[in-house]
Amino acid sequence: MTVHDVDRVGFVQEWEEWHRQKDAVLAGPHGFLAITGLHWLSARAERFEDAPGAWSSTADGVVVELDEGEDLTVDGRVVRGRYDFGVVAERGSVYAGSGDAVIEVAKRGGHDILRPRHPGNELRTAFTGTPAYAPDPRWVRAGRFLPFKAPRAVTVGAAVEGLEHVYDSPGRVELELDGTLHRLTAFNGSRPGGLMVLFTDMTSGVTTYAANRALRIAPPDDEGRVTLDFNRAANLPCAYTDLATCPLPPAENRLPVAVEAGERIPLERGGQP
C-alpha cells in the first residue's frame, strides 16, 4: 500500500475513533487516571488512606483485615473481616469494590501492590484528552515478522526505579526507516497472534513521552508480513501518572530517527495541545 492508495478521509476517521476510544478507557471511572495510590505490600499489615482494611503480602498471597463497619465486594459478594485474595499471577490483577471506588490487587515485578481507583480523582476529572500528531498515511510502514525458534525471555526496566519486568518475546519485527533496516524486539499483543513493540525515538523527551511508547501490530500474514501504523504509537499509563509500573523498551528498540506520529507528551506532563 502506498500513500496514494489511502482513503484519507476514512483513514483520519478511523484514527480519530481509535484515539477517542483509547482516551475513554484511560479516563474511565476506574481507568488509570482514577488511581490514587501505588502501595507496595509487605509482610506487615498496613492501612492506607484511600482503601479500607489493613493489607499484607504473605506466602499464601494478599490478605486484608477489615475492621467492623468496613467491607469490600469481591465477585459480587460482600466480604468482611479477614479475606484472602490468594496468590496473584505476575502482571495479573484482581478487583474489589468499595463504594464507588475499585481496589486493584496486583503483582508487578514479583511484588504485590495495591492501587485504589477513585472516580473523583482530580487527574481523571481534569483530563481533556491526549495531544497527538495529525494522522499521516506516510507513517504506515510495511514490515516483516521474524519469529524465534522458541520464545525468548526478555528482561526490561520499568518506570519505577529498581523494578524489572520479564516478557516472552516471540520474535522481532523488521522494517526500514530512513533507508536503514531495524529489527525491533516484539512482545505478545493483547489479541491472539498480535504483537506489541515498545520503542523510543528521536522525538522522545522532546515532543513525545521520554520513557516509552507502545505500538500494537495485527497478527502477521502467512508470509510474515505486518503493518506498523506509527500514527497509533500510544502512551502507556506512566506517561500520565507516577502510579504506574510500565515496562521500558529494550535497547535495540531505541530508534535513531524522529517518528513524528502518534501520541505526544500528555498535558499532565507539560505537553502542548
Summarised one tens digit per residue, pLDDT across range 149-181 is 999 999 999 999 999 999 999 999 999 999 999
Query: In this predicted structure, what is the pLDDT of residue 52?
Result: 98
- Is 5's pLDDT higher than 60? no
User: How far is residue 92 from each of residues 86, 108, 149, 175, 193, measured CA to CA in Å?
Assistant: 12, 8, 27, 32, 20
* Closest to 187 in 3D by CA, of 166, 170, 174, 212: 170
Q: What is the pLDDT of residues 57-116, one digit of tens each?
A: 999 999 999 999 999 999 999 999 999 999 999 999 999 999 999 999 999 999 999 999
- In this prediction, residue 273 carries a pLDDT of 86
CA gap 229, 232 in Å, rounded:
6
- Say whether pLDDT at 6 is over 90: no
The contacts of residue 92 (CB under 8 Å, 6+ apart) are 106, 107
Q: What is the mean pLDDT of residues 5-14?
A: 86
- Whether the Cβ atoms of residue 188 and residue 196 lie closer than 8 Å to each other: yes
User: For residues 90 and 107, is the Cβ–Cβ distance under 8 A?
Assistant: yes
Query: pLDDT tens digits, residue range 213-236?
Result: 999 999 999 999 999 999 999 999
Average pLDDT over the chain reads 96
pTM: 0.93
Residue 215: name the closest of 233, 188, 202, 194 by CA: 233
